[in-house]
């Protein structure tokens, strides 16, 4: 999983908005604005290999690019696995 | 409900009967239950052994593979002496060794759109422990059509997932989470990417636990949630899993049959 820079570091850099969200139950901070598609890209995840839930609702893959994350959002990323 | 137990049954199931949530009533429900296990591999092995030990009265087991040496690192229902034997036969023998009071029905078959509805018809709960996405989506669609509860587990490398899907009683189906299979070849199988044997043991045992809870109607169901376990981090979490009203399977305009599924192609051993 890719590492987001911490909120403190981001503030010190005095750059764009810091977006603090929960990813898989962990608090993370990213440069905003950020869409679901952008988040997966930052995390190095292939969108075709995961399902994404934002605030307890599944986000359709077709909507990843236009679904913008907001501060405090809770995002869950579920890997597609099918072994038995 | 038949609460008449033999002395041998009372002794065998004593630790169950002691539990306030189980008791004679729960044990009687287990004896009357009919559960189908799809896949006699890493998940199906512990699942079968625990359901048989628990006294689930009728257990069907479907798989078309034979035991191979590379299975034995995790598929604990088979032994070295079973190499080359149909998995359903060696696993059924292992279950009967543990508990001769339960009926185990081995079915050596590959699950496809032509036989799946017949295979699940006689069972109340269907368990998915298969090793490929085609079968997982087929089983899910068949369970939605037939109104059967599906208890589905999956593993890869050091990760496991578990869900209970019963849209006929409310809650989501498997396709509410994943509307379609991943493109072929994109997500590796355990044979391609590996899996820690003990991870399949934990997930198959958690699957057995949810099956027993569903049969007895005790505790808080996993339906409406998905359990995800990362063994390397040793973190387990459950996330809410809502029903998708526009789901291609259980939604208002969902599939009416299984004609969108292709006949199964031969696969490499799991």
pLDDT of residue B1: 80
Average pLDDT over residues B94-98: 98
DSSP B162-229: EEEE-GGGSS--HHHH-SSPPPTTTSPPHHHH-B-HHHHHHHHHHHHHHHHHHHHT-S---TTEEEEE
pLDDT tens, B112-168? 999 999 999 999 999 999 999 999 999 999 999 999 999 999 999 999 999 999 999
SS3 B131: coil
pLDDT of residue B263: 77
Task: Walk me through the domains of chain B, giving residue ranges and CATH numbers.
Answer: 15-240 (3.40.50.720)
Q: Quote the CA–CA distance of B186 and B203 in Å, as a whole number.
A: 23
Lowest-confidence region among A1-10, A13-22, B62-71, B238-247: A1-10
Tokens of A21: 């969200």
Closest CB to B182: pick one of A58, A78, A80. Answer: A80
Answer yes or no: is the ipTM higher than 0.90: no
Tell me, what DSSP letter sits at residue B95?
A: H
Q: Quote the CA–CA distance of B127 and B111 in Å, as a whole number.
A: 13
Q: Do B27 and B17 contact (CB within 8 A), yes or no?
A: yes
pLDDT of residue B265: 57
B189 exposed, middle or buried (CB, 10 Å; 0-12, 13-18, 19+)? buried
Average pLDDT over residues B97-110: 98
Question: In B, which residues are within 8 Å of A83 by CB distance?
Answer: 42, 131, 154-156, 189-190, 193, 195, 270
How high is the mean pLDDT of chain B?
A: 95
**So which residues of B are the catalytic ones?**
190
Angle at B11 between CA B6 and CA B16, to 5 degrees: 105
pLDDT of residue B262: 87
| Cβ pair A84:B42 closer than 8 A | yes
């Amino acid at each position: 999983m890719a590492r987001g820079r911490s909120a403190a570091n981001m503030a010190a850099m005095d750059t764009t908005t810091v977006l603090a969200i929960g990813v898989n139950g962990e608090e993370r901070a990213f440069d905003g604005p950020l869409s679901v598609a952008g988040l997966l890209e930052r995390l190095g995840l292939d969108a075709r290999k995961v399902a994404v839930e934002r605030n307890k609702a599944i986000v359709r893959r077709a909507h990843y690019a236009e679904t913008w994350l907001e501060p405090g959002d809770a995002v869950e990323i579920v890997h597609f696995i099918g072994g038995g | 409900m038949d609460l008449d137990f033999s002395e041998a049954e009372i002794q065998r199931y004593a630790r169950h009967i002691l539990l306030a949530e189980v008791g004679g009533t729960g044990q009687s429900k287990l004896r009357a239950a009919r559960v189908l296990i799809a896949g006699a591999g890493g998940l199906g092995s512990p699942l079968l052994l625990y359901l048989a030990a628990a006294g689930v009265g009728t257990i069907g087991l479907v798989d078309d593979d034979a035991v191979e040496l590379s299975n034995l690192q995790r598929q604990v229902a088979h032994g070295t002496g079973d190499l080359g034997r149909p998995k359903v036969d060696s696993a059924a023998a292992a279950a009967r060794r543990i508990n001769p009071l339960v009926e185990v029905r081995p079915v050596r078959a590959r699950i496809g759109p032509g036989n799946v509805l017949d295979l699940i018809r006689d069972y109340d709960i269907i368990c998915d422990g298969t090793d490929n996405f085609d079968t997982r989506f087929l089983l899910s669609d068949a369970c939605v059509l037939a109104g059967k509860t599906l208890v589905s587990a999956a593993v890869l490398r050091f990760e496991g997932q578990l869900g209970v899907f019963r849209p006929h009683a409310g809650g989501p189906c498997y396709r509410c989470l994943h509307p379609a299979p991943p493109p072929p070849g994109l997500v590796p199988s355990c044979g391609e990417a590996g899996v820690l044997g003990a991870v399949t043991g934990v997930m198959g045992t958690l699957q057995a636990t949810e099956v027993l809870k569903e049969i007895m109607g005790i505790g808080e169901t996993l339906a409406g949630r998905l359990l995800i376990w990362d063994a390397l981090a040793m973190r387990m979490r459950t996330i809410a899993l809502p029903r998708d009203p526009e789901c291609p399977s259980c939604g208002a305009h969902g599939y009416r049959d299984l004609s969108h599924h292709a006949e199964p192609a031969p696969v490499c051993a799991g």
